[in-house]
Amino acid sequence: MTRTEGRGVKQRGWIVGLIAAGALVVVGILVGTGLLGGSGGAPAANGVAKAMVPPGELDEYYLFASGGHSGQVFVYGVPSMRRIRTIPVFTPDPALGYGYDEKTKEMLGGLTWGDVHHPALSETNGEYDGRWLFVNDNANNRVARINLKTFFTEQILGPVPNIMGPHSACFVTPNTEYLFMGSRFATPIPHGTYAPLEEFSEKYKGVLAAIKIDPETGHMSLAWQLLLPPWSFDLGDAGKKVSDGWHFLTTYNTEEAYETLEVGASARDRDYIVMFNWREAEKAAEEGKYTLIDGVKVIDPVEVPGIVYLMPVAKSPHGVDVSPDGRYIVASGKLQPTVTVYDFEKIQEAIRNGRIAGHERGLPILDYPEVRVAEVEVGLGPLHTQFDDKGYAYTSLFIDSAVVKWKLGEWTVVDKIDVHYNPGHLCAAEGDTVSPDGKWLVSLNKMAKDRYLSVGPSHPESLQLIDISGDKMQLVYEAPVDPEPHYAQMVKADKIRPEVMFMKDPNRPYSVWDVADARIERNGDEVHVYMVAVRSRFVPDRIEVNQGDTVYFHITNTDMDQDISHGFGIPLYDMDVQVEPGETKTVKIVADKPGVFPFYCTNFCSALHQEMQGWLLVKPAQ
Ligand code: K7E
Ligand code: CUA
């Protein structure tokens, strides 16, 4: 306690001192001239300078961090670690009006939260292509797609039948053919089936879903599923290059415990990496080798051999990560101080030569010594691994509160750095691609404790930026983050090409582009308001309806000007949206409360923003 407190105070002292002395520019100059050592006496100062992005300048990378049970995605700039945006995905957000207009309300499907764990950027030939970001909802069996042209959520798929708690998602294949989602919780299937826990081993099922992604539009659809044992599927990673066509999952609870899992799911010495050939599964689906369960083609790999293999792994593994060349599969055994590395060439050889050590639940187990190349002693609590461009791997150590750097092929640890505290995932620049940049690594830490000004009993989590370009890792900067990032994706900023406004489209349904066309139409007790929002008024601004009417507001923002967003909020009707330049949004209320309701622009848009208002007059029913 005092030790870390002392460290915090000391560091603050440093920074205050630097600012007083004429600030970071000085540090930059000193570093530039070599007067201030690289890793010698002033590591903190040197690090801060590296993260410095002067006002008005832009970051080199985007970092997309999952927002965990906030149901959101947090966007940061790297290296400054400035938080740029929160993207609402599974959770309503009045600031953007997400979940209030008809389209996004329907997308949320009545649910108000999700649990985002693993964002995945779309890829072309194993490189991030900057088109879409996919995220999972570990709670409600859903996946979502964010369009990176708009940074808005565009599709939510699910709840997906038969799947329960898809923690093992989203992981995309190298050409974004599929993303896979695997159940963390085995349950009887289809959803709604009852079976007592005592029948866990017979009646409960593990399921993996293959979500097909349309290469043009990014549209996601459920293609097929694999029926698996009632184990907990945890993480995953798609094969690439030599291992393209295969997908790897970690699983725990091969014990099939259903009570006191803390003990019951840790009884055996080994669990498995479950690997499957998705092209073979695709073929089986095409050839009709499936059973329809809740309308889904479910393939039983025991009956269709050649799709699924098991590889023994140190017990209760968590992360599994494929090296950039696709050759090595790295699994972290969170209860053993090692990572286990498999060689894909040896795996192929073992399959070809039928080196099967046995079967579990009818699935073939590859002979462990045949497929494993190394068990690297990394330290306590290894969870997740990332890679650089020089053949090094970086593994987070949850219990040690550290990141360890080790060499692929030599299997030796070369460096270790403390992080604060208890890291989960790591995220390297272009980390999941076939060519990581080897520049920055972000450690997503579960505990921040004393690192920031206290905000009471609920602490923030912490993102720590580490420079991995040299031989020695160097902690450079840190930023607090709301609960709770699990994984993240870091992509070169120039790969993302956002649009600054929506395109004007005169044919868009419900849109009005000229105030002369703005109008109110009544059809029985349904009222449609075709409204223009333009600096600094709503047209029409006087809307008279009868109590009990259903009122649709179709609002088009005709200000085709960057950053001129209008809001539309109605007091006491729980309604607010933001309409971006060139956008049309539809909101609906049932005017069940009589009275006078001034609606107004909720987003500061102009000098006369405060005057941008109108009247909703609801005449009482007699
Ligand atoms: Cu390790 Cu959900 Cu990927 Cu959290 S998970 S850390
Ligand atoms: Cu429009 Cu404020």
**Where does residue 126 fall: left (phi above 0), alpha (psi -120 to 50 degrees), or beta otherwise?**
left
According to DSSP, residue 108 is labeled H
**CA 557 – ligand 2 centroid, Å:** 10
Q: What is the mean pLDDT of residues 35-56?
A: 64
Nearest to 272 by CA among 318, 328, 226, 313: 313
Q: Which residues, listed in sequence order, are joined to residue 341 by a DSSP beta bridge?
A: 330, 374
Q: Is 334 in the pocket of ligand 2 (CB under 6 A)?
A: no
Q: Is 396 in the pocket of ligand 2 (CB under 6 A)?
A: no
Ligand in nearest proximity to the CA of 169: 1
The pLDDT-based confidence of 24 (bands split at 50, 70, 90) is very low
Minimum mean pLDDT range among 34-38, 138-142, 225-229, 506-510: 34-38
Q: Is 608 in the pocket of ligand 2 (CB under 6 A)?
A: no
Under DSSP, is residue 532 helix (H, G, I), strand (E, B) or coil? strand
Q: What is the β-pairing status of strands 220-228 and 296-299?
A: parallel
Indicate whether 37 pLDDT > 60: no
Selected residue with higher pLDDT from 483 and 200: 200
Residue 610 CA, closest ligand 2 atom number? 2
Residue 484 CA, closest ligand 1 atom number? 4
Q: What is the β-pairing status of strands 542-546 and 613-619?
A: parallel
Indicate whether 70 pLDDT > 80: yes
Residue 601 CA, closest ligand 2 atom number? 2
Q: Which residues line ligand 1 (CB under 6 A)?
A: 117-118, 167, 235, 318, 383-384, 424-425, 486-487
pLDDT at 416: 98
Indicate whether 19 pLDDT > 50: no
Which residue's C-alpha comes closest to atom 1 of ligand 1?
424
**Who contacts 509 (Cβ-Cβ below 8 Å, separation ≥6)?**
none
pLDDT at 16: 37
Orientation angle between helical segments 43-51 and 24-32, nearest 10 degrees:
100
The pLDDT-based confidence of 536 (bands split at 50, 70, 90) is very high
Give CA–CA dist 346/446, Å, rounded.
36
Span 95-139, pLDDT tens digits: 999 999 999 999 999 999 999 999 999 999 999 999 999 999 999
The torsion angle over the Cα atoms of residues 273, 279, 281 and 284, rounded to 10 degrees, is: -160
Indicate whether 9 pLDDT > 70: no
Span 410-429, pLDDT tens digits: 999 999 999 999 999 999 99
Percent of the chain residues past pLDDT 90, beyond the cut: 89
Indicate whether 476 pLDDT > 90: yes
**CA 391 – ligand 1 centroid, Å:** 24
**CA 268 – ligand 1 centroid, Å:** 22
Residue 444 CA, closest ligand 1 atom number? 6
**CA 486 – ligand 1 centroid, Å:** 5
Indicate whether 31 pLDDT > 60: no
Which residue's C-alpha comes closest to atom 1 of ligand 2?
566
Give CA–CA dist 174/237, Å, rounded.
10
Compute CA distances 485 → 100, 268, 401, whole Å.
25, 30, 17
pTM (2 d.p.): 0.92
Written as six digits, the tokens of 601 are 């622009």
Span 269-279, pLDDT tens digits: 899 999 999 99
Span 563-598, pLDDT tens digits: 999 999 999 999 999 999 999 999 999 999 999 999
| DSSP per-residue string spanning 598-610 | EEE--S--STTGG
Provide φ and ψ at 209, rounded to 5°: -110, 140
The pLDDT-based confidence of 46 (bands split at 50, 70, 90) is low
Average pLDDT, the chain: 92
Nearest to 605 by CA among 567, 575, 556, 558: 567
Nearest to 332 by CA among 419, 241, 393, 257: 393
Minimum mean pLDDT range among 36-50, 392-406, 505-519, 535-549: 36-50
Label each residue of 21-69 as H, E or C.
Answer: CCCHHHHHHHHHCCCCCCCCCCHHHHHHHHHCCCCCCCCCEEEEEECEC
Give CA–CA dist 576/593, Å, rounded.
17
Q: Is 569 in the pocket of ligand 2 (CB under 6 A)?
A: no
pLDDT at 26: 37
Q: What is the mean pLDDT of residues 437-456?
A: 96
Q: Is 578 in the pocket of ligand 2 (CB under 6 A)?
A: no
Q: Is 307 in the pocket of ligand 2 (CB under 6 A)?
A: no
Test site for ligand 1: of 167, 320, 425, 446, most ligand atoms within 8 A of the Cβ: 425
Ligand in nearest proximity to the CA of 606: 2
Q: What is the mean pLDDT of residues 16-36?
A: 37
Nearest to 62 by CA among 473, 427, 390, 425: 427
Q: What is the mean pLDDT of residues 206-222?
A: 98
The pLDDT-based confidence of 45 (bands split at 50, 70, 90) is low
Span 593-616, pLDDT tens digits: 999 999 999 999 999 999 999 999
Residue 605 CA, closest ligand 2 atom number? 2
Widest CA span in the chain:
84
Nearest to 382 by CA among 419, 340, 332, 426: 332
